[in-house]
Amino acid sequence: MGFAFYFFVAWLITVIFTVMKKRLTFVENSFVFLLILIISINFSWIISSELILVKLSTEPLDYTAFMINRSIGIPFIIVVTLNLMKSINSIGKSLLIMICSILIQVILVKLGTNFDVTNRENWNIMYDIIYFALLHLFAVYSLKFYQKLKQSEAIS
């Protein structure tokens, strides 16, 4: 059941990203996606394999569900969030969009626990909230840094 759910979520977020009006360029979207993908892969590897704080399922489909969420779901949700934040000029609405995105990701993690995709005995849900909040902030500031770098390169 976990595989079907995460496959559907990954498919849905990919379709949303494909059809939505993008405020970021192709290169900016690719930059954010790849950056978040690298961080997500390394973070999940550290907490599951090195620190053994989260135990992953040994069932092939459940493990694949975890990989789909980690490699497709999390980066695409953040890219969609940044595109939505870029289209709104209000800081309050941007924070609300970011908070909703964090909550969606925490719900996906919690559902992964309920579907026995992961076992989080030594891991607290607050750690996930902090991780996703920091991941969003890192994505926002990395994108701003990239845009300033691109702008300064165009000037010179």
For 70-121, write each residue's pLDDT tens digit: 999 999 999 999 999 998 888 999 999 999 999 999 999 999 888 888 888 8
Q: Residues 28, 112, 12, CA angle at the centre, nearest 5°?
A: 45
* 134 closest CA partner among 93, 78, 87: 78
Q: How far apart are CA 88 and CA 11, in angstroms?
A: 25
- The per-residue pLDDT for 50 is 84
- Global pTM exceeds 0.85: yes
Beta strands in 40-151 (DSSP E): 55-56, 118-119
Q: What is the pLDDT of residue 150?
A: 86
Q: Which residue bears the tokens 């975890």?
A: 66
| Confidence category of residue 27, pLDDT binned at 50, 70, 90 | very high
Q: Is 7 exposed, middle or buried (0-12, 13-18, 19+ CB in 10 A)?
A: middle
Residue 128: pLDDT band with limits 50, 70, 90: very high
Q: What is the mean pLDDT of residues 51-70?
A: 89
Bridge partners of 55, per DSSP, are 119
Residues 6+ apart with CB under 8 A from 60: none
pLDDT band, residue 9 (cuts 50/70/90): very high
